[in-house]
């Protein structure tokens, strides 16, 4: 280690489903070939982290440090790494490693790689003062007025929302189900494109509806309500399977429904007539580096403004609890 890098670090560690994260002191890892060591500045708190903690994601590597919306500074580089300099600000997303040679990786679909590993799930993530990352999956971030905490949600909420919007196919009238971290970012992209978005929230969530209107929603209401006009596409961010048939009923013929979460409760049956008329349903699986380069280049030009509630590292359990209750507008972020 160099003199400027400490021997140990603080980290919030996940040991087993149903348990709170534990604050521990761990050795600062050393970068291997192809890796960079980052001094973490901020890490977003994502609903996927709740799915991990609740045991809804299969085969996590335990114990593991969660967190996959990482903004950090390069502290050291491993052998063979080029293009990164000490002190440079970079971002690390959910997709943390792929094999690079399977039929998915070689056809521009690395997000579907069967051997893929994910940050904060099979690879230690950003709920720590330092983290290792594969240099291939680190995105240089522009030095700007934006604070690290404001950039962190772009690395998952922003990227997954952007991929979901691409799969929606340039729709002019887009329904957004679940108006949280991802929704408040993709809403700004939709508005930038000159299209309209309609926000659907859980019953009684007037605060989220008001937040959506502040961001330019053409309409905001409860998930069981009908918007004033039929939708060309809908994106579901909430992990609730019953929203699928509910959203499908609001689609115009030829409309597309995009399920953007990594986990969703079971989808109830629905009449074929609700799907007929060339409506379609698809899911979003992770992201590609191309998604990252496109979105992180676009976001400063819009510019995307994230709404964040900042927590200290040791407050990670409190941040997760507030996210679970739906008590946050925008995103929760741990700041080191």
Beta strands in 3-142 (DSSP E): 8-13, 22-27, 35-45, 70-77, 89-92, 95-97, 117-118, 130-134, 139-140
The residue among 264, 239, 288 whose CA lies nearest residue 93 is: 288
Which tokens hold the place of 130? 């330092």
Q: Please give the Cα distance from 317 to 228 (Å, whole number).
A: 40
Predicted structure pTM score: 0.94
Beta carbons of 257 and 278 less than 8 angstroms apart: no
**C-alpha 3 chain-centroid distance:** 34
What pLDDT does residue 142 have? 82
Task: List, for residues 185-207, the tens digit of each pLDDT value.
Answer: 999 999 999 999 999 999 999 99
Which tokens hold the place of 26? 């761990």
3-state helix, strand and coil shares in percent for the chain, rounded to the nearest 5: 25, 30, 45
Please provide the average confidence, as pLDDT, over all residues in the chain: 96
Task: List, for residues 243-285, the tens digit of each pLDDT value.
Answer: 999 999 999 999 999 999 999 999 999 999 999 999 999 999 9
In this prediction, residue 314 has a pLDDT band, given cuts at 50, 70 and 90, of very high
Q: Helices (DSSP H) in the chain: which residue ranges?
A: 47-53, 148-151, 157-167, 181-192, 206-214, 243-248, 272-275, 289-298, 316-325
């Amino acid at each position: 280690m160099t003199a400027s890098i400490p021997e140990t670090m603080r980290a919030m560690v996940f040991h087993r489903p149903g348990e709170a994260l534990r604050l521990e002191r761990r050795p600062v890892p050393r970068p291997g070939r192809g890796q960079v060591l980052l001094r973490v500045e901020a890490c977003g708190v994502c609903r996927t982290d709740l799915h991990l903690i609740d045991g809804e994601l299969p085969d996590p590597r335990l114990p593991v440090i969660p967190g996959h919306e990482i903004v950090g500074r390069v502290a050291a580089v491993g052998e063979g790494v080029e293009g990164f300099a000490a002190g440079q600000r970079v971002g690390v997303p959910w997709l943390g490693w792929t094999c690079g040679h399977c039929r998915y990786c070689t056809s521009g679909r690395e997000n579907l790689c069967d051997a893929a590993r994910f940050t904060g799930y099979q690879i230690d993530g950003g709920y720590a003062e330092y983290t290792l990352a594969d240099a291939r999956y680190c995105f240089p971030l522009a030095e700007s007025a934006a604070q690290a905490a404001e950039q962190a949600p772009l690395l998952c909420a922003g990227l997954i929302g952007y991929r979901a919007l691409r799969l929606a196919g340039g729709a002019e009238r887009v329904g957004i189900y679940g108006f949280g971290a991802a929704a408040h970012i993709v809403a700004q992209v939709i508005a930038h494109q000159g299209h309209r978005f309609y926000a659907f929230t859980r019953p009684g969530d007037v605060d989220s509806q008001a937040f959506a209107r502040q961001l330019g929603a053409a309409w905001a209401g409860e998930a069981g309500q009908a918007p004033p006009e039929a939708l060309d596409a809908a994106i579901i961010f909430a992990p609730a399977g019953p929203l699928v048939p509910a959203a499908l009923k609001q689609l115009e013929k030829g409309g597309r429904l995009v399920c953007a979460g990594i986990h969703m409760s079971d989808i109830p049956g629905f009449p074929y007539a609700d799907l007929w008329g060339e409506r379609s349903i698809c899911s979003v699986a992770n992201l590609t580096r191309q998604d990252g380069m496109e979105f992180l280049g676009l976001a400063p030009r819009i510019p995307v403004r994230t709404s964040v509630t900042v927590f200290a590292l040791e407050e990670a359990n409190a941040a997760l609890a507030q996210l679970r209750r739906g008590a946050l507008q925008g995103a929760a972020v741990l700041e080191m």
